A and B are shown apart, each in its own frame.
Chain A
Amino acid sequence: MEVDKGKGEAEETRKVAEADRDTVTLKSSDGKLFEVSKEAAARLSTVLAGMIAGGSIDDNGTDLKQIGSEALENVVDYCNKHANSIPSAALISSSISFNTAPFKEPEEWERKFVDRLSHDALFDLVEAANFLGMERLLDVTCHKISEMMKGKSPDQIREVFNIKNDYTKEELEEIRQELAWAFYDD
């Protein structure tokens, strides 16, 4: 979904140009530019929706200083992929659904999308999704993290995420006793 709007259009009044465009340009902390479907961005990100509605989108690249280029690329990639699956998404939201779950399981493509990420990229993406108010992307990435934790002992989880155990031996023993009830099936 690359966009080939000519630069010449910038001559016209910005308001008109902006209304005509169906993409927005986002700029990462390291200065790289990314195009994303305006419709998808507004639908998937509360922050971008607010910026688009408020007219604070910059044609030359809206600064997102908190997000690095790799994470922003993933965000844009996710938005564009999501834009392509609009038909089913629109159908779901408009139809009567018995879905009362706070969380809907990731779809196959969403699973693949997060599975290919490196450890670092996954966490960068979580933070980007959180910053941009992307509820669904946040769920999908957090779900991936929870899958990496489930059924593991504290030691195993520390190993996976490089968590440093800063408890003293006494504290740890105290916690283990405190939480003995939570190890009911061991």
Chain B
Amino acid sequence: MDSSTAVEEAAPRSAKPTTPPDAGDDDAVDLISGLDDDVLLRVLSLLPDASDAVRTSALSRRWRGLWSRVPALRFASRPGSGATTGGEQRAALERFAAFVDGFVSRRAQSGCAAIESLSIVYATGSSDILEKPPPPPVFVARVVFAIGRPHETNERDTQRRQLMPAYVHAVQGWIQNAFLHGHGDDDDDENVVLLEGLHSPARLETLRLALEGAIRLRLPSTVKFASLAHLSLERITIAADGGDGARLLGHLVSSATCPHLQKLCMRNINLHAFSEEMRLEAAMLSELCMEGVKTVMSLKLWTPKLRVLHMYTCSHKMLMISAPKLEELVISFHQGYPPSCLEIHGDLLCVRRLKICLWSHSPCASSRYEAENDTNISLLKHFGSLTCLDVTLLRGQNVSFAGSYLEHVK
């Protein structure tokens, strides 16, 4: 390993010979136990799974009960547990859920510190899946129009890349009994996880839930996250009773449930049944990212403070956006299926940055793709103050024609 050479140029004084950190000998002193509690709690909060933190209690008296004061916790299912059959997977999920449940209910006892940070990730395969950003869309050419201030495009591009992966973490809060199992009337192949009985005292700030596999999340109808500021829901299939999923999901992420929500990310959300309407009414929401929120016929956004809106593979028939403070919009539709009704309230005079996708050579069902282009072009008419327009051309080589769209901006 020549990693030390890389640092020597900046460490001119004496690069002492080092030994690998793991090489402990019998005489070596215990350096870790002498660290401040705050530092040890920081170490424990950085462990990838909360079970690691709990188990440190067995190390020595110094460590006993430290886990009960760790403010930030992550729960991650172990990849490759060898569960292949439905029954094994269900059993693995139950153990995981029981652990999360056991943990948070123990932390609810007096004498424990409030959990400030909590992330729950369940994946049947490798949990890495959930950490990876979604694959980029297939495209042949990408044109960025920097209008007025060309240097902004780089920064803009950086932002775009940061957006998805960065959201992948999260969570501060207090959740009690986050997982309760469904009632016995569900068939064996499907696991239903309930999000019921959540208690959210003043500390809850961010929450991330990522569930994968044969899990269906049942949304609560009565729950309140009074202090929640950041929420991320990923890869969740919602158990919807009578097509009610979209309404409940909208309710969950609206001000009625989360009055202080500022950042919201919903990725790969499947509503089990086709749902009519989802209304998102969020008074404080500043940044919203939606990707692959499926089978919702109509989406209505009432977001007076929204600054950033990213929507990927948007497949709603009807899309209504009321966001007078919007500064940045990135939007792509489910291929060939733009909303037949697109309603944007007012002129979005604050929007500086817009990213859209256009088809250059229409594939087979050309009318659909033309409609998608038309929808995108009609979008442009709402934005009078753009400084950066980023157009991705899909499936075609005819880049030059995109230049004509510039005129819509001016």
- Please give the residue numbers on chain A whose beta carbons come within 8 Å of chain B beta carbons, in ascending order: 1-2, 32, 34, 69-70, 73-74, 77, 80-81, 91-92, 95-103, 109, 112-113, 115-123, 126-127, 130, 138-139, 142-146, 148-154, 157-167, 172, 175-176, 178-179, 181-185
Contact = CB atoms under 8 A, between A and B. Distances in A.
B7 A154 contact: no
Nearest to A140: B46
Q: Report the interface size class on chain B.
A: 35 or more
B159 A116 contact: no
Nearest to A182: B54
Question: Which 10 residue pairs are nearest across A and B when measured between Cβ atoms?
Answer: A101-B169, A182-B54, A99-B166, A100-B230, A146-B46, A123-B31, A98-B167, A154-B58, A118-B18, A184-B99
A56 to B, nearest CB: 24
Given A77-B7, A162-B30, A184-B98, A92 B81 contact: no
A1 B10 CA distance: 7
B158 A142 contact: no
Interface of B: 1, 3-4, 6-7, 10-14, 16, 18-24, 28-33, 35-36, 38-39, 42-49, 51-52, 54-64, 72, 78, 81, 95-96, 98-99, 102-103, 116-117, 155, 158-159, 162-164, 166-172, 206, 229-230, 232, 263, 265, 287, 289, 307-308, 328
Contacts of B4: 116
B3 A112 contact: yes
22 contacts: A32-B13, A98-B166, A98-B263, A98-B289, A100-B167, A102-B45, A102-B169, A103-B46, A103-B72, A113-B7, A117-B18, A118-B19, A119-B31, A120-B31, A123-B32, A130-B38, A142-B46, A146-B43, A146-B47, A150-B47, A159-B24, A179-B54
A100 B263 contact: yes
B166 A126 contact: no
A92 B154 CA distance: 12
Given A118-B21, A119-B31, A164 B60 contact: yes
B99 A181 contact: yes
Given A118-B16, A145-B32, A184-B96, 20 more contacts: A2-B12, A32-B13, A80-B10, A96-B307, A97-B159, A97-B163, A98-B164, A98-B289, A100-B166, A102-B45, A116-B1, A118-B19, A119-B21, A145-B43, A154-B59, A157-B56, A182-B51, A183-B55, A184-B51, A185-B81
B149 to A, nearest CB: 14
B11 A160 contact: no
A152 B49 CA distance: 12
B39 A138 contact: yes
Contacts of A161: 24, 30-33
A150 B54 contact: no
Given A163-B59, A166-B60, A96 B21 contact: no
B169 A103 contact: yes
Contacts of B43: 142, 145-146, 149
Contacts of A97: 159, 162-163, 166
A154 B55 CA distance: 7
A185 to B, nearest CB: 5
A119 B23 CA distance: 8
A127 B35 CA distance: 7
B10 A95 contact: no
B3 A115 contact: yes
A77 B10 contact: yes
B105 to A, nearest CB: 10
B47 A96 contact: no
A164 B72 contact: no
A116 B3 contact: yes
Nearest to A103: B46
B154 to A, nearest CB: 9
Contacts of B31: 119-120, 123, 161-162
B162 A92 contact: yes
A32 B11 CA distance: 14
Nearest to B11: A77
A73 B13 contact: yes
A86 B391 CA distance: 30
B33 A163 contact: yes
A17 B16 CA distance: 34
A173 B19 CA distance: 35
Contacts of A176: 58
B95 A150 contact: no
Contacts of A99: 162, 166-167, 169
Contact of A172 (B3, B11, B48, B58): B58
B24 A160 contact: yes
Given A165-B59, A181-B99, A73 B265 contact: no
